[in-house]
Chain A
Amino acid sequence: MGRYVLARLWQGLLVVLGVTLTVFVVTRLVGNPVDLMLPLSASAEQRAAFAQQIGLDQPLPVQFARFLGDLATLDFGQSLWQRRPAAEVVFERLPNTALLVAAGLGAALVLAVPLGIIAATRPDGPVDRVIVGAGLLGLSMPQFWVGLILIYVFAVQLKWLPTSGSATWWHLVLPAVTLGLAPLARLTMLTRSAVIDELNKPYVKTARAKGMPRRRVLGVHTLRNVAIGVLTLAGWELILALSGYTVVVETVFAWPGIGLTAIQAIQRGDLFLVQAIVFVIAGIIVIINIALDLLFKAIDPRIDVR
């Protein structure tokens, strides 16, 4: 077990370095980052001086070696855009994203499981149809659009909630709903179909035949088997949210998280901040994956994690 975790962490580190190297190379090869960073009015001398100052005049392998050397001391370099350490920016914004993702996906998971079970207990009944219909709707709306519609209805028309920003807990509601809507739909659908599958299996019939109440069969045996699939999807949703969806949601709601910061850093050619963000997010994703594997092992002892 301990060895398994260590091995996975080692593999994970290689993955993170691989991702970071890719980003490192791509950001330096597509166009000239100095042009992105400096205003159009900058002179040729200014550009050259700037490239030299941040080490961009060195060959790529030298730059990468330097980057790794600094990384060993957890130094991601200075954010060129904000003129302060990149790590400081990342760890200032990361909690905001964590809060948003926890609220959005947490609510989605908590709602999806009961909704899916309710829908599955009477497949094709009226309740099931409403849930499936709503789920399809939730799946087909792009987040960007959902966000703007929610702002229009709940902030501009009804004035119940603020349009954007992060000052109070009320500010969290609309972005979290926007982020959680599609995962809620997907998780509900998966729970529903998994429960339907399980309920048709022989062990359920046996349990029912020997007189076990339906609720107990569902709660004890079926849910345990369904849980792995639902948690796998939930983990995937978490990864999707961290690696992309938060960019959209945070941009729409001006939520000062890591997704918004990432897109701004890319637009401004802030290589060092982009590298820091990619490294940290990739690291978090690796850890999520390992944690999920361990969780599965706890739920289903048949799973072998050696």
Chain B
Amino acid sequence: MVRLSRLGLWGALAAGVLATALPAQAQEITVAIGSEPSTLDPQLRDDGGERQVNDNIYETLMARTADGELVPGLAAQAPTQVDETTWEFELRDGITFHNGEPFDADAVVASVARIIDPANNSEQMGYLNTITGAEKVDDDTVRITTSGPDPILPSRMYWMKMIPPAYAESGDIGAAPVGTGPYKFVEWDRGNQIVLEANEDYWDGAPEIKKITYRFVGEAGTRLSGLMAGEFDVITNLLPEFVPTVPNAAAVDGLETSVLILGTDNEVLKDPKVREALNLAVNRDAMVEGLFQGHATVAGGHHINPRAFGYNDTLEPYAYDVERARALIAEAGAEGKTVRIVGENGRWLKSREQVEAIAAYWAEIGLDVEIEIQEFSQYLDSLMGDGPRPDAIFVANSNELMDADRESSFIYHKDGAASSNSDAEMAEMIDQARVTTDTAAREKLYHDVFQKGRELSYTVPLFNLQDIYGMSERIDWQPRSDAKLMVKEMSVSN
């Protein structure tokens, strides 16, 4: 009797444990991200950690598919242009914020007003700086105005998260976010974790995963360990060399493109032949394998993200041709001349290694190469300060808006913050492209700019880098090319 009842008890216990533990586990995941969000206010900072959480809580008027195509989000359809500087958005009907506030034209107007308010000093204004205001037409219609013609306003609206106006006024939006998205905020135990739960009333259907716990682990080796120990289901920024180690990994072409900006007015590099030689000397395919274990793509002859609007796919990557490079150096009379290359260590994936490899390739064609790896703030001063331009400086440039304006204005335009050329004609083409609303004409302008940049070898385009995620075996997910960590697109097996 005793034995039987004991067995019964154990059986009941086991059944109970199985019944409660398994389904709960299947619906909850733990995600390890590289840094704790600085704030959970979605409109103030340009912070990857903040986005990795808030992209699941907040939404934007325009969204992107996993492949990067711009589609309506909280807008009912793509916006229409009323005049050169005014865009009209129809809003989806019947959407409410997690606290019950309606999402309507007033919410859009308040969101726009808040983010462009100079007093808020939003770091996201780099993406939104043409926007001058928003006005309500009716409850479901809103007009957004820009300072000049702005062809990429729809893309910009994919960057502006919509906040609930009343709560933003009265609540602590930086500590307890309230959005319209598929997940609701539960708690933020500072330094330790953030927890979100599924929004069962989400307008596009409740997400499959019911609970997300975010952990903040800066050290790549520790993130990997946590994945291997079964503590984490998804980890970000897995190093390429760890890919074979993890149970499950997924990579996707990312937003970053690495490039060396050449000082085209400098003594040795003012000769286009030298600049072409610097390009031909680099064996990019070998670097893709050697440094990135294949997790990078050779840039197509210009340093623009291949999925960005304006990318010129008729331009070929530079060939690897040491003989021709040597000949060009000889023709230019640059043998033995000194070329100084500036880089940094650790901010971007393998940035120091890329600079060192390239310096070695350049030494092979008969140049005297000086490498200078600088501390980050000193490096930023070299990149964007007023001092003399380095012969070559490394940067990995991120294109969040998926538009060629980013890399053009920053690097090719002579007044760009990181520019090392003084080509007035090219600058004018870029200025014009920025305000041309005719899509085909605008694309043509960019194609021409990049053709010119390629012909005159203003830069040494390197790689479009992949984002790599490590995952536990039970996670099924294809990461997005816009680097957004959208948990609603993940599914959990078992």
Q: Is the CB of A41 within 8 A of B126?
A: yes
Tell me whether A83 is interfacial, beta carbon within 8 Å.
yes
Among B44, B377, B410, point to the contact of A35 (Cβ < 8 A): B377
Q: Is the CB of A82 within 8 A of B218?
A: no
Tell me whether A107 is interfacial, beta carbon within 8 Å.
no
Contacts of A156 in B (CB 8 A): 225, 228-229
Q: Is the CB of B380 within 8 A of A35?
A: yes
Tell me whether A53 is interfacial, beta carbon within 8 Å.
yes
Selected interface stretch from B8-16, B20-28, B35-43, B67-75: B35-43
Q: Is the CB of B217 within 8 A of A164?
A: yes
User: Nearest B residue to A82 by beta-carbon distance?
Assistant: B38
Determine the distance from Cα of A112 to Cα of B122 in the docked complex, in whole angstroms: 53
Determine the distance from Cα of A107 to Cα of B192 in the docked complex, in whole angstroms: 25
Determine the distance from Cα of A172 to Cα of B333 in the docked complex, in whole angstroms: 63
Chain B 214-235 near chain A by CB (<8 Å), digits 1 or 0:
0111110110011011110000
Q: Is the CB of B377 within 8 A of A38?
A: no
Contacts of A12 in B (CB 8 A): none
Q: Is the CB of A260 within 8 A of B417?
A: no
Tell me whether B125 is interfacial, beta carbon within 8 Å.
yes
User: Nearest B residue to A52 by beta-carbon distance?
Assistant: B121
Tell me whether B81 is interfacial, beta carbon within 8 Å.
no
Q: Is the CB of B229 within 8 A of A163?
A: yes
Tell me whether A8 is interfacial, beta carbon within 8 Å.
no
Q: Is the CB of A252 within 8 A of B380?
A: no
Tell me whether A106 is interfacial, beta carbon within 8 Å.
no
Contacts of B397 in A (CB 8 A): 40
Q: Is the CB of A46 within 8 A of B378?
A: no
Among A32, A41, A251, point to the contact of B410 (Cβ < 8 A): A41
Q: Is the CB of A30 within 8 A of B225?
A: no
Q: Is the CB of B192 within 8 A of A166?
A: yes
Q: How far is the CB of A196 from chain B (nearest CB, A)?
A: 40
Q: Which of A38, A40, A264, A268 has the most CB of B within 10 A?
A: A40
Tell me whether B381 is interfacial, beta carbon within 8 Å.
yes
Determine the distance from Cα of A94 to Cα of B377 in the docked complex, in whole angstroms: 27
Contacts of B216 in A (CB 8 A): 254, 256
Contacts of B228 in A (CB 8 A): 156
Q: How far is the CB of A89 from chain B (nearest CB, A)?
A: 9
Q: How far is the CB of A52 from chain B (nearest CB, A)?
A: 10
Selected interface stretch from A135-143, A147-155, A212-220: A147-155
Contacts of B231 in A (CB 8 A): 162-163
Tell me whether B3 is interfacial, beta carbon within 8 Å.
no
Contacts of B44 in A (CB 8 A): 83
Q: How many residues of A contact B (CB 8 A)?
A: 46
Asked, given contacts A40-B397, A166-B192, A167-B193, whether A254 binds B218 with beta carbons under 8 Å apart, the answer is yes
Tell me whether B129 is interfacial, beta carbon within 8 Å.
yes
Q: Which of A32, A163, A167, A268 has the most CB of B within 10 A?
A: A163
Tell me whether A267 is interfacial, beta carbon within 8 Å.
yes
Tell me whether B303 is interfacial, beta carbon within 8 Å.
no
User: Nearest A residue to B41 by beta-carbon distance?
Assistant: A83
* The 6 A-B residue pairs with the shortest CB-CB distance in the complex, in nearest-first order: A256-B191, A31-B377, A41-B126, A39-B46, A35-B380, A163-B226
Contacts of B36 in A (CB 8 A): 256
Asked, given contacts A40-B417, A43-B126, A53-B121, whether A32 binds B377 with beta carbons under 8 Å apart, the answer is yes
Determine the distance from Cα of A50 to Cα of B45 in the docked complex, in whole angstroms: 13
Among A30, A35, A44, A254, point to the contact of B217 (Cβ < 8 A): A254
Q: Is the CB of B222 within 8 A of A41?
A: no
Q: Is the CB of B229 within 8 A of A35?
A: no
Among A53, A83, A93, A151, point to the contact of B45 (Cβ < 8 A): A83
Among A38, A166, A268, point to the contact of B191 (Cβ < 8 A): A166
Tell me whether B100 is interfacial, beta carbon within 8 Å.
no
Residues 312 to 349 of chain B near chain A (Cβ within 8 Å): none
Tell me whether B247 is interfacial, beta carbon within 8 Å.
no
Determine the distance from Cα of A43 to Cα of B126 in the docked complex, in whole angstroms: 6
Asked, given contacts A30-B377, A165-B192, whether A35 binds B46 with beta carbons under 8 Å apart, the answer is no
Q: How far is the CB of B372 from chain A (nearest CB, A)?
A: 14
Given A40-B410, A159-B230, 7 more pairs with CB closer than 8 A: A30-B378, A31-B381, A42-B126, A82-B38, A164-B215, A254-B217, A260-B218
Tell me whether A253 is interfacial, beta carbon within 8 Å.
yes
Pairs A–B under 8 Å by Cβ, sample size 13 = A31-B377, A31-B379, A32-B384, A39-B123, A41-B127, A43-B125, A46-B126, A155-B226, A156-B229, A163-B226, A163-B231, A167-B192, A268-B38
Q: Is the CB of B46 within 8 A of A152?
A: no
Contacts of A36 in B (CB 8 A): 376-377, 380
Q: Is the CB of B191 within 8 A of A46?
A: no
User: Nearest A residue to B124 by beta-carbon distance?
Assistant: A39
Determine the distance from Cα of A253 to Cα of B192 in the docked complex, in whole angstroms: 11
Residues 50 to 79 of chain A near chain B (Cβ within 8 Å): 50, 53
Q: How far is the CB of B314 from chain A (nearest CB, A)?
A: 27
Tell me whether A269 is interfacial, beta carbon within 8 Å.
yes
Determine the distance from Cα of A206 to Cα of B381 in the docked complex, in whole angstroms: 70
Contacts of B205 in A (CB 8 A): none
Determine the distance from Cα of A82 to Cα of B121 in the docked complex, in whole angstroms: 14
Q: Is the CB of A151 within 8 A of B225?
A: yes
Tell me whether B148 is interfacial, beta carbon within 8 Å.
no
Tell me whether A289 is interfacial, beta carbon within 8 Å.
no
Tell me whether B171 is interfacial, beta carbon within 8 Å.
no
User: Nearest A residue to B222 by beta-carbon distance?
Assistant: A164
Tell me whether A134 is interfacial, beta carbon within 8 Å.
no
User: Nearest B residue to A270 by beta-carbon distance?
Assistant: B38
Q: How far is the CB of B33 from chain A (nearest CB, A)?
A: 11
Determine the distance from Cα of A46 to Cα of B127 in the docked complex, in whole angstroms: 11
